[in-house]
Chains A and B, each alone.
Chain A
Amino acid sequence: MIPLGHYLIVSAVLFAVGSAGVFMRRNLITILLSIEIMLNAVNLAFVAFGRHAGIVDGQIIVAFVMTVAAAEAAVGLAIVVALFRHRESLNPDAFTSLKW
């Protein structure tokens, strides 16, 4: 059986990849995808912890998180569509009407 630590390392790597993507990618849709990667990294950690402790809670929590992530994606994409209509661009650097 694969020990708990391995799952947690994969989860941490995924989480790091996701958060790096939020800062480094220059496309609004890719940034949204990066946030999804972060949430799924957390899901992996939940399932691993739940299985390690021999309880089903971890997997139930994941169902909640997936629901929330879906709702979040819907709202995020709607906002991106509204933004795109103003500037016809998906580059975050195009949106600078608000400054410090």
Chain B
Amino acid sequence: MLPASFNAVVPMLCAGAGALVVMLAEAWRRKGERFPMALLAFIALAATGISLIFLWGRNQVSFEVVTADNFAVFVSLIIVAAGLLTVAFSTQVLERDGIPEGEYYALVLFAVVGMIMMAMANDLLVLFVGLEVMSLGVYVLTGIRRDNLAGIEGAFKYFLLGAFASAFFLYGIAFTFGVAGSTRLDKVAAFLAAQSMTGNPMVLLAMGLLIVGFAFKVSAVPFHMWTPDAYEGAPAVVTGFMSTGVKAAAFAGFVRVFLAAFEPFKADWAPALMVLAAATMIVGTVVGVAQSHLKRMLAYSSIAHGGYILVALVAANQLGKAAILFYLATYAITNLAAFGAIALLGSKDSARDGLHDYAGLWYSRPWVAGLLTVALLSLGGLPPTAGFIGKWYVFSAAVSSGYYGLAIIGVLSSVISVFFYMRVVVMMYMTDKSTGAAPTPVRGVGMVALVVTVAVILYLGILPTRVLNLAAASIGSIF
């Protein structure tokens, strides 16, 4: 057995071991032999999830730099859920599109390891390594269809700007290290709280560079350029995974660094994040309205959703902190449902991601159309779905902290965003059957996963108290 000091890293070990087994199984597979890679990945992720549940409430710390407090466990559970649903959607899609199974599942699992590492990191260097492990996996997943030019081009843009942002992030770590003499977040926090460093240019520079690095990863405007291209080029299942997992992990790091270590400087960083949040919400919705390509439209929608989470981070009162976690959970489940439905409806020759491909979907595939409708309504924030409750808490947190402007911009932009979600719904129900080929039938594991996500969306929309209390309890005691 592992010594007790390893407790906090057990979830990462589970997912990492799963990834290695999948990789070896692929290498030793005889030509033509079938191997249940998806099942292996599913088991590894389930083990990760179970080990996370065991860590709940125990505040385990490993090697002084990996901490499995309830906040990290909550975010990690969101990440594992995203991974499990992605695997479930992928089973049908990979075979159809001819994507190599072994590489795909191994990369998904490695990316999950990186994401959990980010969520649990209590040291800026660990955070950086986690960020890179996650990003490298996702870059490759974006371009996994090598014969598809759009996929490779999206992957390159994502890689280029991601690596560029990593350098900024690392420079921020260097200055933090230079000021505080350590990369450990608790030591940085203690140092900054003890000394009165207000206005110290080196600290401000460090914070600015760290904000740029995180803003790239959570695709905040004006650092969002890669998002639409990467989301459009990637296969829809991968887009679902990276729009939720990457965002959850990056926000976990963002929250931990700025609410734990740089809390004494809130007066300096809050205005910068306020501007980012406002720009992100406005650009995400306004440009989203002009899109006629569903995946691209959802990419802009996910940029806007990042802006709402930033609002909660700026507000950062008790309500706001709980709202960050709750919003991440609702956003993740909703986006996975939407991209899962898109992925399952496509075929090898056509990705079916233009808006007009959804004309009359209600007549050919009524079940999928119904499920997709719930997901889109939740993204738009209409009751009784999860998205409504999430937005409600974010905006009430902003109002109770006195950020009226942000709350108003948020409400207005979510009203505008309803327009483009409804456009898809209208397309599905009120247009005649499209003349093209009928969409791929959805059945099996993919359909089960879709039903589960929609059930969770409705559950979180109608009975949110339980999860909201968990979110509040997990974050309130830490920051």
- Identify the A interface with B (CB < 8 A): 15, 18-19, 22, 28, 31, 35, 38-39, 41-42, 45-46, 49-50, 52-53, 55, 57-58, 61, 64-65, 68, 71-72, 75-76, 78-80, 82-83, 85-87, 95, 97-98, 100
Number of interface residues of B (CB under 8 A): 38
Interface residues of B (CB under 8 A from A): 125, 128-129, 132, 136, 139-140, 143, 146, 149-150, 152-157, 159-160, 163-164, 166-167, 170-171, 173-175, 177-178, 181-183, 228-229, 232-233, 287
**A98, B154: Cβ atoms closer than 8 Å:** yes
Chain B residues with CB under 8 Å of A79's CB are: 139, 143, 152, 155-156, 159
Closest Cβ of chain A to B269, distance in Å, is 21
Please tell me which one of the listed residues B155, B163, B229 contacts residue A72 in the complex, with CB atoms under 8 A apart.
Answer: B163
Q: With A and B bound together, what is the CA distance between A19 and B163 in angstroms? A: 11
Please give the distance in Å from B446's CB to the nearest CB on chain A: 27
**Is B171 in contact with A45, judged by CB distance below 8 angstroms?**
yes
Give the distance in Å from the alpha carbon of A55 to the alpha carbon of B324 in the complex.
Answer: 37
Contacts of B153 in A (CB 8 A): 83, 95, 97-98
Q: Which residues of A contact B132 (CB under 8 A)?
A: 68, 71-72
Contact check, B163 vs A55: say whether CB atoms are below 8 A apart. no
Asked whether B177 lies within 8 Å of A61 as measured between CB atoms, the reply is yes
A and B contact pairs by CB, cutoff 8 A, 14 listed: A19-B167, A39-B166, A45-B174, A45-B178, A50-B177, A53-B181, A64-B125, A64-B128, A80-B156, A97-B153, A98-B157, A98-B228, A98-B232, A98-B233
Q: Please, which residue of chain A has its CB at the minimum distance from the CB of B146?
A: A82
Q: CA–CA, A53 to B139, complex, Å?
A: 37
Contact B150 A64 (CB under 8 A): no
Tell me whether A42 and B171 are in contact in the complex, defined as CB-CB below 8 angstroms, given that A64-B129, A83-B156, A98-B229 are known contacts.
yes
Closest beta carbon of chain B to A12's beta carbon, Å: 9
Contacts of A86 in B (CB 8 A): 149, 152
Q: Is the CB of B181 within 8 A of A55?
A: yes
In the complex, chain A residues whose CB is within 8 Å of the CB of B150: 97-98
